[in-house]
Amino acid sequence: MNRLLIALIAGSFAAAVSAQTPAPAATPPTTMQKLDKKLESPADKAKQAEVQAVTKGGGDNTATGAAAAAGSAKAKAEKGDPKSLTTKAEKQQAVSAAAKGGGNNDASGAVSAAGSAKAKAEKGDPKALATKAEKQQAVDAATKAGAKNAGGGN
């Protein structure tokens, strides 16, 4: 297990170093290849082959590099452009324009006010079932009606 961990760490370092430097004319043996020679059992060699296959297949970063290059080129092109809101007056105008039509604050406030007015109007209305006895009778009646409609075996 320790050999496998050492091989993985060494392989990742070797892959990172080789990815950053240009390819030399003659490549010296890597740490992975040296460790391969030291491993003797067939099980260890099989594990090492699996590790090498995984480390070789995982590092294709060409698409992200192209996207990063395009983004940096765009940033360079836009660097000289003037800022959109340079003065305090322009910023205040933009804020006031956004506050006027930016959100649904007016509509939600009107709905909230209408709900509050309705609640105030209904506050003085008497309750349908004022006493405990009336409430109990309503519950009993609902229970009896539910039992009749349920179709139980009574």
State the pTM of this model: 0.20
pLDDT tens digit sequence for 66-113: 777 778 888 877 777 777 777 888 888 888 888 776 555 555 666 777
Nearest to 35 by CA among 3, 1, 2: 3
pLDDT confidence band for 9 (50 / 70 / 90): very high
Q: Is 88 exposed, middle or buried (0-12, 13-18, 19+ CB in 10 A)?
A: exposed
Domain boundaries, the chain: 2-21+28-56
Give the pLDDT band of residue 60 (cuts 50, 70, 90).
Answer: low
Task: Provide CB contacts within 8 A for 15, sequence distance 6+.
Answer: 55, 59
